[in-house]
Amino acid sequence: MREFFDAADKIQHKPLTDAQWSDAVECYQRAKLMTDAVNDLVKAFATQSGKKAASIRKVLVARAGCKESEMRDELQGTLELLGGGE
């Protein structure tokens, strides 16, 4: 019987505490600031390079994830499909 009540206690819904809300708000605010900073950086890079912001963002994401070679392979595959690759 004790196991039943222990298991039931684990799935009981409990209200979020003020401390949890405070932590969540702080996390959200930091993430928002970082998102805004990345957006500003991408815009500046696009302006500087004359490239589209979407292209800059794609390369940034690839470099951040160490997936540049995957991106090159994908581009090469696309070029081959279009008849422009070797």
pLDDT 10s digits, 11-50: 778 899 999 999 999 999 999 999 999 999 999 999 999 9
Question: Is there a domain that residue 19 lies in?
Answer: no
- Distance, CA of 26 to chain centre: 18
* Residue 70, domain extent: 25-86
| Tokens 């994908």 -> residue | 74
Domains held by the chain: number: 1
Question: Is there a domain that residue 20 lies in?
Answer: no
Instruction: Write the CB contacts of 49 (distance below 8 Å, at least 6 apart in sequence).
Output: 56
For the chain, the residue count is 86
Instruction: Write the CB contacts of 70 (distance below 8 Å, at least 6 apart in sequence).
Output: 62
Question: Is there a domain that residue 5 lies in?
Answer: no
Question: Is there a domain that residue 75 lies in?
Answer: yes
Tokens representing 43 are 């815009």
Question: Is there a domain that residue 69 lies in?
Answer: yes
pTM over 0.75: no
Question: Is there a domain that residue 18 lies in?
Answer: no
How confident is residue 62, by pLDDT bands cut at 50, 70 and 90?
confident
Helices marked H in 1-86:
2-10, 18-49, 53-64, 68-82
Question: Is there a domain that residue 10 lies in?
Answer: no
